Amino acid sequence: MKTTTFALTSAAFCYLTSAIPLSLRAAEQVNIVLQTGDGDSAQAFSIDIGKIVPTSQSGGSSGVDASISTAGITCQAFTDAAGTIPLDSPFTSAAAVFFNQCAANGLATSCVAADAVSIGAYCCAEDAAFKATCLAAKAKGNSENVTVELQGASELAIQVNVPDDGSIVAVGGKQSFDSAFVSEGSNVKCQAFSDVKGTKKVGSPFGAQEASLAGGKEKLVQALSCKAN
């Protein structure tokens, strides 16, 4: 029995591949490149298209700018892990997003690690479906933002915006702190965690009054969660 073999030229293969809708291709992910703010260092990671992905799963929990190279896709970073509070504007293959103006000239080497902002989640979708897919959670959310200040030794202090709906928000930088308080917002209790998933508590819940996280000792804080009373 004779076997017939068909060969595709590279041009024909490329044509067939490009003709297949993105949603039907084998790769349903997009690669995000995040400048960390530590000189010219960057972190690259992939997330699924069409869903909100917390940084506890994807990585990329802090940085100064983000970009993608896949055309036809729009992405959004969020302050919170639930994807209800957009962080800056969306970004595409044609336009990166600069979370901190130190990198707005395209030179991340102008930034330092302290310039990195905290990121809770990402969402990427095909252009036509972006608003319905990635901004739907924002439309549904009724949370308010509060500001938590974390303080440490040598006058170290950072502020993190956290929704009051109990969402876990990542704290970038892997820094240690000895106290915390809610500097903006009322009738809310917050909790610090030593892991980005928010499972390992650091100290007790705190509010507007400055509270010690661990008896005055510095502890690593990688996430925060706040809940309205």
| Residue 4 domain flag | no
| Residue 112 domain flag | yes
- Asked if residue 46 and residue 124 are part of one domain, the reply reads yes
Give the H or E element holding residue 56: helix 55-58
The pLDDT profile of the chain, 229 residues, written as one tens digit per residue, is 343 333 333 343 344 333 434 433 334 899 999 998 887 889 999 999 999 999 888 999 999 999 999 999 999 999 888 888 888 889 999 999 998 878 776 666 778 888 888 898 999 999 999 988 898 766 555 667 889 999 987 778 888 888 888 888 878 667 899 999 999 888 899 999 998 778 899 999 999 999 999 887 899 998 899 998 8
- Asked if residue 108 and residue 196 are part of one domain, the reply reads no
Confidence (pTM): 0.59
Tell me what pLDDT residue 142 has.
Answer: 61
Q: Give me the domain span that covers residue 132.
A: 26-139
Last residue in a domain, options 85, 111, 139: 139
Tell me what pLDDT residue 107 has.
Answer: 67
Of 211, 153, 148, 159, nearest to 185 by C-alpha is 148
- Asked if residue 51 and residue 109 are part of one domain, the reply reads yes
| Residue 35 domain flag | yes
Tell me what pLDDT residue 26 has.
Answer: 37
CATH number, domain at 179?
2.60.20.10
| Residue 5 domain flag | no
CA dihedral 183, 36, 124, 221 (to 10 degrees): -40
- Asked if residue 198 and residue 217 are part of one domain, the reply reads yes
- Residue for token pair 């591949």: 17
The length of the chain in residues reads: 229
Q: How many independent structural domains does the chain possess?
A: 2
- Asked if residue 41 and residue 134 are part of one domain, the reply reads yes
Last residue in a domain, options 139, 172, 190: 139
Number of Cβ within 10 Å of residue 183's Cβ equals: 13
- Asked if residue 151 and residue 97 are part of one domain, the reply reads no
- Asked if residue 165 and residue 69 are part of one domain, the reply reads no
Q: Residues 160, 172: contact at Cβ < 8 Å? A: no
